[in-house]
Amino acid sequence: MSDKDGLKECPCGEIPKELIIATVGEKYTRCFGDCCGDWETEFRNDYSEGVESYEKAVNAWNNIERPEPKPDWISVEKFYDKLEASQVELTSEQAEILYSNLFDMYDS
């Protein structure tokens, strides 16, 4: 768990440093981790804001059922780390195609 917020691991394999709340002050809203941005949960916010809203987001994040992570899925950060470590130079267009193909593998 994260030292700061007690956050549980995301299906991408990372533990988010923080949650991003889509909208505050609404009855229902969504939150997602700052790790990949691909996995989110909706929760009842009851029009709260600030710390109260964030606590509700943490509670929703930690208590939702998590799917089994796919073994070939990596976070965006790990993808770029692996790309950089391979020292292969790609154009931004090639990197976009490669990244798109990674999402296709994840969805299949």
**Residue spans per domain, the chain:** 1-67, 76-107
Read off the pLDDT of each residue in 26-46 and give the average, rounded to a whole number.
90
The yes-or-no verdict on residue 53 having pLDDT over 80 is yes
The yes-or-no verdict on residue 44 having pLDDT over 90 is yes
pLDDT at 2: 41
CB-neighbour burial class of residue 100 (10 A; exposed 0-12, middle 13-18, buried 19+): exposed
Q: E strands within the chain? A: 19-21, 28-33, 40-44
47 or 104: whose pLDDT is higher?
47
The yes-or-no verdict on residue 7 having pLDDT over 60 is yes
15 or 81: whose pLDDT is higher?
15
pLDDT at 51: 93
pTM for this entry? 0.60
Give the confidence band of 3 by pLDDT, cuts at 50, 70, 90: very low
pLDDT at 95: 77
As a whole number of angstroms, the distance between CA 46 and CA 41 comes to 15
